[in-house]
Amino acid sequence: MPFLLLGAGQVAVGAAAIFARLGLTGASPLAVSAARLAIASIVLLAIGLFRSPASLRVPRRQAVVLAAAGCALAVHFGTWIASLQYTSVAISTLLVATTPIWTAAYDALVLHRPLTRRALAAFGTAAAGVCAIVGFNRTAAPVPGHDIAGALLALTGSVAIAAYFILVREVRAELGTRTIVTHTYGWAAIVLIALAAITRQPPPAPSDATAWGGILAMALVSQLLGHTAMNASLRWFTPSAVAFSTLLEPVVAAVLALLLFGEAIAPTAIAGAVVLLASIAVVLKEEPRTDAVTSG
């Protein structure tokens, strides 16, 4: 049961990029992101009001931190989903998975936590892996010919979710997971809805079953069920083990994209992906994460 739960969570989160691609068939990235976060926020808010309304109230300092984290989350979803227009699902998901590299760099540069030699070496090999992935991969995308733009958007999404994790860990000891995600998802939804309105990016047409199916699947399957399963698996696994398991997400996404969209990866890019995932694994081992929540 524990392994089944953790595995199901990884598959659900790994499929997020597939669902996003479906959502993008009927709307722009900001509209898709806004709809996804709005649906997840409404569900979480309803659960919170039903189970414990008092748990939704937080002190002002923590509320400010959660609002900032929500803005970072909005940037993450907006840029990551946009990257799926310009590059393959596999490459986008791989580059978003570099989040542990950025959090470790923040801890070293800002908090002055020393890095081990292995972690320092992993930074170099990760950079080499990214260069191999971006430089040698050429796959069909909804908007072809912009592989570099897609890679940069995915990396921006990775940095943004790293900022989210850094902000959230400041209040995690004081607040429960459901309270945190209810606030941050809500703020992210508000920001994305405002941006979509300003840029005149409407949601999919009500009759567009494919796009809305993808958006609903992202919100309910990947966001709520997937992340809930991964957090629930902490009953049996250590946070480090759950963090290591997230390395399966790019693999799940790549396999699904190959089967559903015929998106293959160039051999050199595959080699770069292996190097990148191995580098992330080293960073995770040297700098154990305490968060089970992931980006997808």
Q: What is the pLDDT of residue 241?
A: 65
Q: What is the pLDDT of residue 135?
A: 67
Per-residue model confidence as pLDDT tens digits over 156-208: 999 999 899 889 888 877 887 788 888 899 999 999 999 999 999 999 999 99
* Confidence band of 144 (pLDDT split at 50, 70, 90): low
Residue 270 lies in a domain: yes
Residue 112 lies in a domain: yes
Residue 203 lies in a domain: yes
Question: Which of 17-26, 164-173, 286-295 bottoms out in mean pLDDT, i.e. has the lowest?
Answer: 286-295
Q: What is the pLDDT of residue 207?
A: 92
Angle between helices 99-109 and 267-286 (to 10 degrees): 40
Helix (H, G, I), strand (E, B), or coil: what is residue 174? coil
Q: Residue 231: pLDDT above 70?
A: no
Residue 295 lies in a domain: no
Residue 291 lies in a domain: no
Taking residues 12-24, what's their average pLDDT?
A: 91
Residue 69 lies in a domain: yes
Residue 294 lies in a domain: no
Query: Residue 252 in contact with residue 10, Cβ under 8 Å?
Result: yes
Nearest of 115, 220, 94 to residue 157 by alpha carbon: 94
- DSSP count for the chain of H helices, then E strands: 14, 0
Chain center to CA of 202: 23
Of 273 and 24, the one with more pLDDT? 24
Nearest of 155, 179, 158 to residue 47 by alpha carbon: 179
Q: What is the pLDDT of residue 290?
A: 46
Q: What is the pLDDT of residue 20?
A: 93
Per-residue model confidence as pLDDT tens digits over 235-285: 677 666 677 777 788 888 888 888 888 887 778 888 888 888 888 888 877
Rg (CA), the chain: 18
CA distance 269 to 264: 10
CA distance 266 to 132: 10
Nearest of 33, 147, 17 to residue 89 by alpha carbon: 17
Per-residue model confidence as pLDDT tens digits over 85-134: 988 888 889 889 888 888 888 888 888 888 888 888 888 888 888 888 77
CA distance 273 to 48: 40
CA distance 63 to 179: 11
Number of structural domains found in the chain: 1
**What one-letter code names the amino acid at 73?**
L
Q: What is the pLDDT of residue 121?
A: 87
Q: What is the pLDDT of residue 252?
A: 86
> Given the structure tokens 């293959």, which residue do they identify?
264
Q: What are phi and psi of 289, to 5 degrees?
A: -85, 150
Taking residues 43-62, what's their average pLDDT?
A: 82
Residue 292 lies in a domain: no
DSSP per residue, 114-132: PPPHHHHHHHHHHHHHHHH
CA distance 43 to 37: 10
- Residue 13: domain span: 2-286
Q: What is the pLDDT of residue 269?
A: 81
Q: What is the pLDDT of residue 292?
A: 44
Of 1 and 189, the one with more pLDDT? 189
* Confidence band of 140 (pLDDT split at 50, 70, 90): low
Q: Residue 16: pLDDT above 70?
A: yes
